[in-house]
């Protein structure tokens, strides 16, 4: 027995199974594929896992583990579930730094000592179905994975049947059934907890939490084998996306991309992540969106308006960097695969960072509820600068009670699954007729919402602030009774008067 569960003769893990993870990886397997993990990788609940010296990309994967009861040999998918005696929780840890050493087999990157915590309890499957299960993972107390077995591309019975075509699954063998989206990197000091339960069944049985603490190793790898190596692709895949990696870098938890400077230069900015500085925020304070849009127009940017959206509070302004969420048109099979569990919509609202604006592509369909009170509250708690959707808002009155600015096409009571499928996050989208990329600057007021490319922000902000000051002076002249002809826009005579007044104020220390 190992930690209350029979020590398995075989530990077999599935590569990809949850639709949320499949969407994140961008490849859809036709059939399940597998790899082995050694029994020596088993670890107890309440144990530790060592991040080896010289590595940086130790990633967790919360999973539902099947424990085989009666041996299975050439069984059908319909019979497969009957051979599962119990369910428990597992954490399929892996080192992305060592993926190149044994690509596909995962021998070294997932076979290390302590890389398969399992337990702490096993739940008998009698009276329960293969669709009854939920897996959740927490890192340092924050929920990061939440999905259910009824969404799986390859159900448990199919996995048992498929494997039993080639080998006998023996009593006590364990099958790790895949991880949902939300898997990411952990660093020394982090605490990872995984729990599997059957929340909608009598008694709501649970495995309890499988707890693992990450520690730092001190023994370096020798020169007689492949050494750890991390590149930009591994960093992005390990963290989940480029945006999540960038957030981890900002929080001091990750190593910057090797090509970050080159990518920024190619995009036309030396530091896109820091484009919206405190100085520029102050510069744009009180500047109208219409004024900024005029500055963008001069530079050829005329399709930067997110059309049709209005604020849920009169007087709301919004300014922040974009985090994107994309919906696609509803289709029953796609919604079944992508609409449940920790889907793209939940991931977006659960990972939006302070100062970001969550921008939702809802295809301009107003008869949808693309955000409700719970998700809006989650975004507010995480410090988001606002939400923009070219669809509708449900629980509109409740959302209005929150402080977070929400720009939308208005209220609609529909729930998810009527017109849309939540598809992906952190990609280029089309919202209200405007192209929006993660990291773009989003600015909005009662006139509307615009998208500002980061590399243009500094010059556009400076020009718009100066124009706003000039427009205010023109308004004062009109209020004093002067006609607009020659004043708006200012001709040479009026421009000379304006410049003289500004110079006089500056010389006298006037504000």
- In whole angstroms, how far apart are CA 164 and each of 21, 30, 117, 159, 241? 25, 18, 25, 8, 35
Residues 6+ apart with CB under 8 A from 146: 134, 135, 136, 137, 180, 182, 341, 342, 346
Peptide bond into 120 cis (omega under 30): yes
According to the model, what pLDDT value does residue 5 have?
Answer: 63
Residues 6+ apart with CB under 8 A from 413: 369, 394
According to the model, what pLDDT value does residue 408 have?
Answer: 96
pLDDT level of residue 337 (50, 70, 90 thresholds): confident
Closest CA relative to residue 398, chosen from 424, 371, 434: 371
* 123: pLDDT strictly greater than 90: yes
According to the model, what pLDDT value does residue 265 have?
Answer: 38
According to the model, what pLDDT value does residue 253 have?
Answer: 87
Would you say how long the chain is, in residues? Answer: 511
Cα 118 to the center of its chain, rounded Å = 27
Tell me the pLDDT tens digit for each residue of 481-498.
Answer: 999 888 888 888 888 888
Residues 6+ apart with CB under 8 A from 142: none
Tell me the pLDDT tens digit for each residue of 161-209.
Answer: 999 999 999 999 999 999 999 999 999 999 999 999 999 999 999 999 9
Q: What is the DSSP letter of 151?
A: G
pLDDT level of residue 4 (50, 70, 90 thresholds): low
- Report the DSSP pairing between strands 116-117 and 62-68: unpaired
User: 311 has which bridge partners?
Assistant: 407
| Domains of the chain listed by start with CATH number | 11-237 (3.90.850.10), 302-452 (3.50.30.40)
- Kindly state the tokens that stand for 25: 């990886």
Closest CA relative to residue 89, chosen from 112, 69, 65: 65
Tell me the pLDDT tens digit for each residue of 230-271.
Answer: 888 888 888 988 778 888 887 778 888 775 433 443 343 333
pLDDT level of residue 134 (50, 70, 90 thresholds): very high
- In whole angstroms, how far apart are CA 119 and each of 61, 185, 193, 194, 492? 14, 21, 11, 9, 80
Residues 6+ apart with CB under 8 A from 56: 97, 185, 230, 235, 254, 255
| CA 116 – CA 11 distance, rounded (Å) | 9
More confident position, 496 or 408: 408
Residues 6+ apart with CB under 8 A from 439: 243, 272, 273, 275, 321, 322, 454
According to the model, what pLDDT value does residue 259 have?
Answer: 52
325 and 344 in contact (C-beta within 8 Å)? yes
Tell me the pLDDT tens digit for each residue of 344-388.
Answer: 999 999 999 999 999 999 999 999 889 999 999 999 999 999 999
- In whole angstroms, how far apart are CA 427 and each of 186, 258, 348? 24, 21, 11
- Residue 29's φ and ψ, nearest 5 degrees, are -75, 140
* 292: pLDDT strictly greater than 90: yes
Residue ranges of the annotated binding site are 372-375, 394-395
Residues 6+ apart with CB under 8 A from 17: 32, 152, 153, 154, 177, 178
Average pLDDT, the chain: 89
Q: What is the DSSP letter of 438?
A: T
According to the model, what pLDDT value does residue 405 have?
Answer: 97
**DSSP per-residue codes, 464-478:** HHHHHHHHHHHHHHH
* 470: pLDDT strictly greater than 90: no
pLDDT level of residue 461 (50, 70, 90 thresholds): very high
Closest CA relative to residue 195, chosen from 158, 141, 248: 141
| CA 150 – CA 156 distance, rounded (Å) | 10
**DSSP per-residue codes, 265-296:** HHHT-S-GGG-S-HHHHHHHTT--HHHHHHHH
Across the chain, which distance is largest between two alpha carbons, in Å? Answer: 95
According to the model, what pLDDT value does residue 354 have?
Answer: 92
Q: What is the DSSP letter of 487?
A: T
According to the model, what pLDDT value does residue 22 have?
Answer: 87
- Kindly state the tokens that stand for 138: 């927490």
176 and 65 in contact (C-beta within 8 Å)? yes
Residue ranges of the annotated binding site for Mg(2+) are 395
Residue ranges of the annotated binding site for substrate are 372-375, 394
Mean pLDDT, rounded, for 215-238: 87
According to the model, what pLDDT value does residue 143 have?
Answer: 95
Residues 6+ apart with CB under 8 A from 332: none
């Amino acid at each position: 027995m190992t930690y209350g569960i029979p020590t398995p003769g075989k530990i077999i893990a599935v590569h990809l199974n949850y639709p949320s993870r499949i969407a994140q990886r961008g490849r859809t397997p036709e059939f399940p594929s597998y790899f082995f993990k050694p029994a020596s990788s088993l670890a107890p609940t309440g144990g530790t896992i060592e991040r080896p010296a010289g590595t940086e990309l130790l990633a967790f994967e919360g999973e539902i583990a099947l424990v085989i009861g009666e041996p299975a040999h050439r069984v059908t998918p319909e019979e497969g579930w009957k051979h599962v005696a119990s369910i428990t929780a597992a954490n399929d840890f892996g080192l992305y730094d060592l993926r190149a050493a044994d690509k596909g087999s995962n021998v070294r990157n997932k076979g290390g000592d302590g890389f398969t915590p399992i337990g702490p309890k096993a739940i008998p499957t009698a009276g329960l179905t293969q669709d009854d299960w939920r897996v959740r993972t927490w890192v340092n107390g924050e929920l990061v994975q939440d999905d259910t077995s009824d969404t799986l591309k390859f159900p448990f019975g199919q996995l048992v049947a498929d494997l039993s075509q080639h080998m006998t699954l023996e009593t006590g063998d364990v099958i790790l059934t895949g991880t949902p989206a939300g898997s990411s990197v952990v660093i020394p000091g982090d605490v990872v907890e995984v729990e599997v339960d059957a929340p909608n069944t009598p008694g709501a049985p649970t495995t309890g939490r499988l707890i693992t603490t990450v520690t730092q190793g001190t023994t370096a790898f020798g020169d007689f084998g492949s050494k750890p190596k991390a590149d930009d692709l591994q960093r992005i895949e390990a963290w989940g996306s480029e945006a999540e990696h960038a957030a981890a870098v900002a929080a001091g938890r990750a190593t910057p991309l090797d090509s970050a400077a080159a990518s920024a230069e190619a995009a036309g900015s030396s530091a896109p992540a820091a484009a919206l500085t405190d100085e520029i925020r102050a510069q744009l304070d009180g500047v109208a969106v219409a004024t900024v849009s005029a500055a963008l127009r001069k530079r050829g940017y005329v399709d930067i308006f997110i059309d049709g959206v209005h604020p849920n509070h009169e007087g709301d302004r919004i300014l922040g960097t974009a985090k994107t969420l994309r919906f696609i048109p509803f289709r029953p099979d796609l919604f079944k695969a992508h609409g449940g569990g920790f889907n793209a919509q939940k991931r977006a609202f659960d990972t939006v960072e302070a100062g970001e604006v969550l921008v939702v592509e809802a295809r301009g369909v107003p008869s949808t509820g693309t955000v409700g009170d719970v998700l809006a509250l989650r975004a507010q708690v995480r410090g988001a600068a606002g939400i923009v959707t070219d669809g509708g808002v449900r629980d509109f009155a409740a959302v209005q009670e929150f402080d977070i600015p929400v720009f939308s096409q208005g209220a609609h009571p529909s729930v998810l699954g009527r017109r849309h499928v939540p598809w992906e996050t952190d990609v280029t989208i089309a919202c209200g007729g405007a192209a929006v990329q993660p990291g773009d600057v989003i600015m909005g007021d009662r006139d509307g919402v615009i998208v500002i490319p980061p590399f243009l922000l500094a010059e556009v902000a400076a020009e718009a602030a100066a124009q706003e000051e000039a427009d205010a002076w023109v308004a004062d002249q009109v209020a004093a009774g002067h006609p607009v002809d020659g004043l708006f826009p200012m001709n040479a005579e009026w421009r000379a008067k304006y410049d003289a007044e500004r110079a006089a104020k500056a010389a006298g220390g006037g504000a």
